[in-house]
Amino acid sequence: MKIEVLGPGCADCRKLEKDVNSALTELGIEAEVVKVTDLNKISSYGVLMTPGLVINGKVYSSGKLPAIVALKRWIEDEGKE
């Protein structure tokens, strides 16, 4: 599983990356977590507001910090596919 955290490095972007790693640890799931700061790459996903979250190439969130519960659900759902 590949999880991309999209954003230039703002506080919310760093928090999202931390929350993703916490969710993975709590779920006992291993994944590649990549921080994407390149604006062209971010916009290629159609994300106009950061932070953004992409799991296995699918945009799950943009412009907000999702709750840990939502992160866990999304990660589990992607792990089943």
Give residues with Cβ within 8 angstroms of 61, minimum separation 6: 51, 52, 53, 70
Is there a catalytic annotation at residue 10? yes
Catalytic residue among 5, 13, 53, 71: 13
d(CA 68, CA 65) in angstroms, rounded, equals 9
Catalytic residue among 2, 9, 10, 26: 10
Active-site residues, by number, are 10, 13
